[in-house]
Amino acid sequence: MSGLHNLLAHEVVEGIKEGLFTAEEYVSSVIKTIEDVESKLNSFITLDTERALSSAKLIDRKIKENEDIGYLGGVAVGIKDNISTKDIRTTCASKMLEDYVPSYDATVIRNLKQNGAIILGKLNLDEFGMGSTTEYSRYHPTHNPWNLDYVPGGSSGGCGAAVAAGECTVSLGSDTGGSIRCPASFCSVVGLKPTYGRVSRYGLISYANSLEQIGPICRSVKDIVLLMNIISGKDNSDNTSMSSSPITINNELNKFDIAIVKELINGGDHGVKGTIYSTSDKFKEIGCTCDEISIKNLHYALPSYYTLASAEASSNLARYDNIRYGFDLPIEEYKWDTYFSNVRKNFGEEVKRRILIGSYVLSSGYYSKYYLKARSLRSLLKLELLNLFKKYDLLIGPTMPILPFKFGEKIDDPIKMYLIDINTVIANLAGIPAISLPVGFSNGLPIGLQMMAAPFEEQKLIDVSYALENTINIQRRPSLI
């Protein structure tokens, strides 16, 4: 049976349960797609197709024996390669972890498996999640399925490209400053960064733990809901996790008060701006109000984010000392400090830059000048946003101020690269949920709408996204692939 790789996750589960096709037929169709397109896209770092096929056969046996297959029974999932998977190597796209095979599953992976999901493999990212294009992966860059000369966004670029191209049906990424939403926007798929604490981070290899969350990247809002209800919840292994009510798909939409944030939309690409304004007209069609507002403290967001994220990274990455993880370097030849710095040379340029910035802003004499100041600015911004949410249900703007761009365009200038995160880092600093929804194209390149809500108000994001998804008529699959 062909074309099964095009199905959405909820269609796959229903199809298998109703006996329309077997899990093996469906997984084979996804693997065939990988064989056809992976040489062009390079979405994966590690594939685990043999084990995926035997898991599919197990699902089919369960169906025959009338056993429950779970809410994700048979669905082929791709996982960003910074989420620990037992017995599948987890590299963080770094040479430091080239041979690292975790001995345990992240909580989200355990949840997926308990619900019948099939792990297909590990998806590409910028090294340790630091970047916005996958060009900082130490293995290979991933290509955008809508135009192979363009970046897919990052850092979860492998997730965005693989889901858009049908190399997996859904995926899990992580978002520290936009890494789920940026590739979702650039690859025309849906990506949700949950409220900080809704999803356990146990088993997510830390980059900046006060900012990051694991979340789904899918081809439909319904699939986002399906995955969120499986991965959310209190986990004793992560003290920052909290329980929350399940999210549902509602066919009736409440009248929401929405605000377009001027600063998020001005100064960006012309085509992006036009598409976001015409989408905002649709809000009125679906019965919502739409004002235009300003976030006064927005200009503090990027400096505060890059100070705090680098500070946390410098501390989190100190563990890569070649004692617990690393390479075969003969210890006798080196003094300890020479040995240590030789090992640390194996980080890529961007990761080294972050470690240096982070160590600097945390060092004595500079701690209050940079680190503490960045923390105060973070609180100021968060307070302003929480106040805005007293008046508005959602704050919106483009996910990315610009369209996807060609490889090499920004890689030589880190500041240029950091600047494109301006719209996404806000949600991480404030710990609030944010979604990126495909809403159009300009010059054949995708545009995503970002919507942010108050903490734990994911339901509002889903309600509006679902209504918009049904209203907006755009090409859903890349024709190149």
Q: Which residues are catalytic?
A: 80, 155, 179
Asked if residue 177 binds ligand GLN (CB under 6 A), the reply is: yes
| Residue 67 identity (one-letter amino acid) | E
For residue 26, which of 51, 64, 53 has the smallest C-alpha distance? 53
Structure tokens of 40? 């062009």
What's the min distance (Å) between Cβ of 135 and ligand GLN? 11
**Residue whose CB is less far from ligand GLN, 207 or 466:** 207
Q: Under rule CB under 6 A, which residues in 385-444 are in contact with ligand GLN?
A: 421
Residue in 129, 194, 203, 216 binding ligand GLN, rule: CB under 6 A: 129
Query: Who's near 436: CB < 8 A, 6+ residues apart?
Result: 180, 181, 182, 184, 185, 190, 191, 192, 399, 448, 449, 450
What's the min distance (Å) between Cβ of 343 and ligand GLN? 23
Asked if residue 268 binds ligand GLN (CB under 6 A), the reply is: no
Residue in 73, 78, 121, 131 binding ligand GLN, rule: CB under 6 A: 131
**Residue whose CB is less far from ligand GLN, 116 or 446:** 446
Q: 442 pairs with which residues across the strands?
A: 445
Residue in 46, 155, 185, 465 binding ligand GLN, rule: CB under 6 A: 155
- x-or-dash string of contact with ligand GLN, 197-216, rule CB under 6 A: ----------x---------
Q: Under rule CB under 6 A, which residues in 220-259 are in contact with ligand GLN?
A: none
d(CA 82, CA 180) in angstroms, rounded, equals: 13
Residue in 115, 124, 176, 206 binding ligand GLN, rule: CB under 6 A: 176
Answer for the pair 225, 248: CB distance below 8 angstroms, yes or no. Answer: yes
CA 268-471-402 angle, to 5 degrees, is 15
**Residue whose CB is less far from ligand GLN, 42 or 176:** 176
**Residue whose CB is less far from ligand GLN, 178 or 433:** 178
Answer for the pair 93, 137: CB distance below 8 angstroms, yes or no. Answer: yes
- x-or-dash string of contact with ligand GLN, 271-310, rule CB under 6 A: --------------------------------------x-
User: Candidates 115-123, 175-183, 234-242, 452-460 — which segment interacts with ligand GLN by CB under 6 A?
Assistant: 175-183
How many residues sit in the footprint of ligand GLN (CB under 6 A)? 13
d(CA 453, CA 392) in angstroms, rounded, equals: 9
Q: 437 pairs with which residues across the strands?
A: 449
**Residue whose CB is less far from ligand GLN, 29 or 132:** 132
Q: 37 pairs with which residues across the strands?
A: none
* CB burial string 142-178: b at 16+ within 10 A, e below: bbbbbbeebbbbbbbbbbbbbbbbbbbbbbbbbbbbb
Residue in 178, 183, 203, 398 binding ligand GLN, rule: CB under 6 A: 178
* Cα separation values, 65 from 26, 72, 244, Å: 19, 18, 34
Residue in 130, 308, 361, 403 binding ligand GLN, rule: CB under 6 A: 130
Q: How many residues does the chain have?
A: 481
Answer for the pair 438, 189: CB distance below 8 angstroms, yes or no. Answer: yes
**Residue whose CB is less far from ligand GLN, 20 or 362:** 362
**Residue whose CB is less far from ligand GLN, 233 or 414:** 414
Residue in 48, 81, 167, 175 binding ligand GLN, rule: CB under 6 A: 175
User: Candidates 177-185, 252-260, 320-328, 370-378 — which segment interacts with ligand GLN by CB under 6 A?
Assistant: 177-185
What's the min distance (Å) between Cβ of 413 and ligand GLN? 14
Query: What number of other Cβ atoms are within 10 A of residue 234's Cβ?
Result: 13
Asked if residue 160 binds ligand GLN (CB under 6 A), the reply is: no
Query: What number of other Cβ atoms are within 10 A of residue 444's Cβ?
Result: 14
Structure tokens of 124? 């590409």
Q: 123 pairs with which residues across the strands?
A: 44, 80
Q: By the criterion CB under 6 A, which residues form the site for ligand GLN?
A: 129-132, 155, 175-179, 207, 309, 421
